[in-house]
Amino acid sequence: MVGFKISAGAALLSLATRSAAVPVVSEPATTFTSQPAVTPEVRPHTNVTSHGPYTGPSPTTTGALTTDVLAPSIPALPPGPDAYKYPSDGKLHAPMPAPYTPAGGLGTNGSAPVYRVLSDFDYESIALALYQEWIELDLFHWGLATFSEEDFEKAGLTAEDRFLIQYMAEQEVGHATLLSNMLGPSAPMQCTYNYPARNVREFVDFCMKLTRWGEAGVYGFLPHLNARDVAQMLLQSITTEARQQVIFRQFEGLFPMPVWFQVGIPQSWAWTLLAPYISSCPANQTRLVWQNYPALHVLNQPNPARINGSNVWNETLGDYANTLSTEAIAEGESCLESDEVGVNCQPAITRNRSEPLSYPGRQVFLEWETPGKPIGPNNSYVTDTKAGAPAFAAWVSQLNVTYSPLQEIQGNKAWTIQPNMSTFEGDPAINGTIFLLVTDTDLYVTPHNITQLNPHVVALTLYQAG
């Protein structure tokens, strides 16, 4: 019997070896089915809310959420006592908690994640991100509902492109649901909004800028969250938003990613840029703690809709984001109308402009608002700055904060020169859609402690460097 088993096994092995040389094409004989898994419901939402400026009664509550304030600013300290302790020599310096697992890390001890905020910092940061997701959901639907198919076609965007915008709106439903679940019952609700765009080209530019500060605003606080499990979830949503920002650059005929690193900004900068486009919120809406800085207007903001995008004056819609205006572009000056390589800015996977939108040595004219302006939901927030006299323009891009002195300061106006510097050799630091500030000092900060600059910010905006 044993001999038979061995013999039979050998015969089967021999057959298998011979069969391997014969090509076999598999064809399905039946259809397999499985019971669908339980799918969580999304948070209730409206695809398009009402729109327009706030016209209701004066708010009964004004200003940012606050409690006892311990100091006018957080003092700058030297590195912590263990900052240089680890030798970083490529060797292991502690017992491994499990095979193939180095010692260290946060949230790596096996404790089950709970995905809930753990501090005021966590709550206010995630709530800000939720405000951002709600406006993106509404904005994308608003553009599709406001402008006709013909309008989109004239801007070079086909039915497939419009479906991509629709799909991006659907992504925001998931993002808003995720963040709401991590915040709990008090999570901010949808509001009503007011957008500056009057045509498809302006709509695309505003979407590109809005997703820019949405992405950068999360990158700024993500490493500082107490709840590491919440940070993980948020990371997996904000990377989608980063792709949205690239897509809107492609829709605008811009080079999709003209930088080596993406910038991170403080929450108050993101809230400053977001709040002006929120008209009103429900009466019991959760308020935010973040600061609203005065608006900064770039009088010669580069205009990506022009063939010569740097040769401009007052070609924005006058809003916080310096959204481009197409109104003053005469026939023959629009890059949408050109077929020339290096000039044409029709939607594309990538475009490389012969004439840059901006460049080192460019004279940039600035004007900023005075603090004390009612703004944001129900005009219930107030712009404010704790800075001293304006002295510098701060160019915030990639890993850098670079300063240039303000010249000929007259009241709330001045000009400055765009600096010439690189993040690393071959990577001009000031490129893409960056953040531009007026500050009272040239404080040295780096990406992880950029909030140290907050007390010194006079006003801020976006600058279209490339």
Residue pLDDT, tens place only, 237-284: 999 999 999 999 999 999 999 999 999 999 999 999 999 999 999 989
**Statement: residue 91 has pLDDT above 50:** yes
**Statement: residue 293 has pLDDT above 90:** yes
* Amino acid 29: pLDDT: 63
Query: Is the Cβ–Cβ distance between 321 and 461 less than 8 Å?
Result: yes
Query: Is the Cβ–Cβ distance between 118 and 227 less than 8 Å?
Result: yes
- In which band, very low, low, confident or very high, does the pLDDT at 47 lie, cut at 50, 70 and 90? confident
Q: DSSP letters along 221-253, please? A: HGGG-S-HHHHHHHHHHHHHHHHHHHHHHHHTT
Going by C-alpha positions, the residue among 141, 126, 119, 247 that lies closest to residue 177 is 126
Query: Which tens digit of pLDDT belongs to each residue from 229-246?
Result: 999 999 999 999 999 999
Query: Is the Cβ–Cβ distance between 238 and 220 less than 8 Å?
Result: no
SS (H, E, C) 54-118: CCCCCCCCCCCCCCCCCCCCCCCCCCCCCCCCCCCCCCCCCCCCECCECCCCCCCCCCCCCCCCC
- In which band, very low, low, confident or very high, does the pLDDT at 61 lie, cut at 50, 70 and 90? confident
* Amino acid 23: pLDDT: 63
Question: What tokens does 140 get?
Answer: 């994308």
Per the model's pLDDT, the better-predicted residue between 50 and 393 turns out to be 393
**Statement: residue 15 has pLDDT above 50:** no
Query: Is the Cβ–Cβ distance between 345 and 353 less than 8 Å?
Result: yes
Q: DSSP letters along 122-186, please? A: HHHHHHHHHHHHHHHHHHHHHHHHHS-HHHHHHTT--HHHHHHHHHHHHHHHHHHHHHHHHH-TT
Question: What tokens does 281 get?
Answer: 């919120």
Alpha-carbon span 216 to 244, nearest angstrom: 13
* Amino acid 49: pLDDT: 83
What's the whole-number mean pLDDT along residues 344-373?
95
**Statement: residue 22 has pLDDT above 70:** no
Please, what sign has the CA dihedral across residues 200, 315, 417, 402? negative
Query: Is the Cβ–Cβ distance between 398 and 263 less than 8 Å?
Result: yes
Query: Which tens digit of pLDDT belongs to each residue from 125-136?
Result: 999 999 999 999
**Statement: residue 110 has pLDDT above 80:** yes
Q: Return left, alpha or beta for 73; rule: phi > 0 is left, psi -120 to 50 is alpha, else beta.
A: beta
* Amino acid 6: pLDDT: 33
**Statement: residue 380 has pLDDT above 80:** yes
Alpha-carbon span 335 to 338, nearest angstrom: 5
* Amino acid 21: pLDDT: 55
Per the model's pLDDT, the better-predicted residue between 19 and 455 turns out to be 455
**Statement: residue 1 has pLDDT above 50:** no
Percent of the chain with pLDDT over 70: 94
Query: Which tens digit of pLDDT belongs to each residue from 145-183?
Result: 999 999 999 999 999 999 999 999 999 999 999 999 999
Percent of the chain with pLDDT over 90: 80
**Statement: residue 105 has pLDDT above 50:** yes
**Statement: residue 292 has pLDDT above 50:** yes
What's the whole-number mean pLDDT along residues 396-416?
97
* Amino acid 398: pLDDT: 97
**Statement: residue 79 has pLDDT above 50:** yes
* Amino acid 12: pLDDT: 31
Contacts of 268 by beta carbon, 8 Å cutoff, 6+ apart: 290, 291, 292, 293, 454
What's the whole-number mean pLDDT along residues 443-452?
97
- In which band, very low, low, confident or very high, does the pLDDT at 10 lie, cut at 50, 70 and 90? very low
* Amino acid 320: pLDDT: 96
Q: What is the mean pLDDT of the chain?
A: 92
Alpha-carbon span 458 to 446, nearest angstrom: 19
* Amino acid 38: pLDDT: 80
